[in-house]
Structure 1
Amino acid sequence: MIVTSGNTSAPVSSMHLLVVDDDVEITQIFSRYFGSHGFRVSTAGDGVQMRRILDAEPVDLVVLDLGLPGEDGLSLTRHLREHWNGPVIIVTGRGESVDRVVGLELGADDYVTKPFDLRELLARVRSVLRRASAPSKAAPRLTEHDRYAFDGYVLDSHSHNVVGPEGKPLALTSGEFALLRIFVEHANQVLSRDQLMTHIHGRDAGPYDRAIDVQIGRLRRKIEADPADPQRIKSIRGAGYLFSPAVRKI
């Protein structure tokens, strides 16, 4: 179920969205709504069509329903993370919390739960696209505040790039990069789950919302020597998380 609302004024976008859902009526609603807000929308009913579109032309973001028949959305999320580096928003049913968590663990950037208001999805799409903006887009000249160094890592907030101590770039999703950037900008401060969710997703964490915990687990596996005993992203019991390295602007 999708809840439609009155149109809101919005800037025109040139972004290309790919909506993967086997319900033709839903994809038509998506196409009309996002098309009215300036997006170019392609639709696919299954994984075969999804791959064909991704192979044929650039796509800026995929909206993927996990409840697909046959090759399900979780398998397609895994495929996207292994073969495509763009952002993914997964769509789940209200009772599919396990699938939602697994989808986030596989690397989805955000999620919406059915039923949802299309305005909410539009806001999520714009938020994720802002985080995943390509460095080739026109942008202000770099300043000293755009790059941070910690423990041999260098984070460049302008290019959305993180280079490790060995000089190799880290493969981070847009959500993982946004999370690390928040930690770096608030080093040695305890941040609650609600604060992190608000910074990254623009909403508070619900009582059963594990999105931040899942992304922190993924990020720890990429920047911690021992993710089971994290020294950089520390859990503060009853309070949240603390990023412990000394950070300097370069």
Structure 2
Amino acid sequence: MNKSHILIVEDDLDIRDLLTAFLEEKGFIASACASAEKAKPILAGCDVDLVLLDVMLPGADGFEFCRILRLSEGPRIIMLTALNEPVDKVVGLELGADDYVSKPFDLRELLARIRAVLRRPALTAGHPRSVDTEPVLRFSGFAFYPQRRFLRSPTGLRVPLTGAEADLLLVFCKNARRVLSREELINLSRGEGFAIAPRSVDLLVSRLRRKLAGEDPLAELIRTIRTDGYAFQPEVSAE
């Protein structure tokens, strides 16, 4: 079984060494560096499955580096932040991070979040897979290939999705026309007992809604049900 490769981008040497030793003990391949600039050659030289990305970095901060990574296909991202303001966590998710963990963090919680994010298949140049061999979910002209987080618009263009957005879309597709509460959306997409603020759920829904609207801002594939949650409107067929 191939070991997952995790890159730690953290300028605090003690935290970097702690995480490297911990992840290697848990069976991962761990690389570490102190800045976004030093991370770039590592990412270019080998396959990295997930980046643990500190927000407060010298030079380009974690938010900026997250934005750069999301301009193209890349590894999954978990932000490490000592900033406890909800808006900072929202910014990370808005830029495309798959998850965030606040410092000081519990190593067991971090491990659980890493494993949860790694369960989402990544689409990378080093792991190609033909969409013709994958199951596809179709709705309103869209074609969604959940195994590799691949969404094609009605006009044939690729719609980029983060891991969290793809998980959410899959839950909606499997529960089309059913009202789902925020708690149900968390449990179905992340697992029961996963701690995430309702505001973050609303943010993910908002981001996904914008991507599905595309060139038609009036399209409402995800309907907000006041006080109850959300409902995915279109019919979904599976092939």
TM-score by length of 2: 0.88
Structure 2 residue 40 is the aligned partner of structure 1 residue 39? no
1:73 Cα shift? 1.2
- Separation in 1 of the partners of 2:105 and 2:154? 43
Match of 2:158 in 1: 169
- Separation in 1 of the partners of 2:17 and 2:40? 20
1:48 Cα shift? 0.8
Structure 2 residue 33 is the aligned partner of structure 1 residue 30? no
1:98 Cα shift? 1.6
Structure 1 residues 172-183: aligned runs within 5 Å: 172-183=161-172
Distance 1:239 1:165, change over 3 A: same
Match of 2:90 in 1: 101
Structure 2 residue 200 is the aligned partner of structure 1 residue 216? no
Aligned Cα root-mean-square deviation (Å): 2.4
Distance 1:95 1:40, change over 3 A: same
Q: After alignment, is 123-132 or 100-109 more displaced?
A: 123-132
Distance 1:227 1:61, change over 3 A: farther
1:168 Cα shift? 2.6
What count of residue pairs does the alignment treat as equivalent?
A: 233
1:77 Cα shift? 1.1
- Separation in 1 of the partners of 2:216 and 2:181? 20
Residue ranges of structure 1 left out of the alignment (5+ in a row)? 1-11
Residue ranges of structure 2 left out of the alignment (5+ in a row)? none
1:53 Cα shift? 1.1
1:78 Cα shift? 1.0
- Separation in 2 of the partners of 1:228 and 1:237? 20
Give the number of the structure with larger relative contact order, counting CA–CA contacts within 8 Å between residues 6 or more apart. 1
- Separation in 2 of the partners of 1:213 and 1:132? 24
Match of 2:143 in 1: 154
TM-score by length of 1: 0.84
Query: Does the 8 A contact of 2:79 with 2:99 survive in 1?
Result: yes
Structure 1 residues 1-250: aligned runs within 5 Å: 14-93=3-82, 95-134=84-123, 136=127, 146-202=135-191, 203-204=193-194, 208-225=197-214, 229=218, 231-250=220-239
1:157 Cα shift? 2.7
Query: Does the 8 A contact of 1:19 with 1:42 survive in 2?
Result: yes
Percent identity among equivalent residues?
A: 39
Q: After alignment, is 195-204 or 15-24 more displaced?
A: 195-204
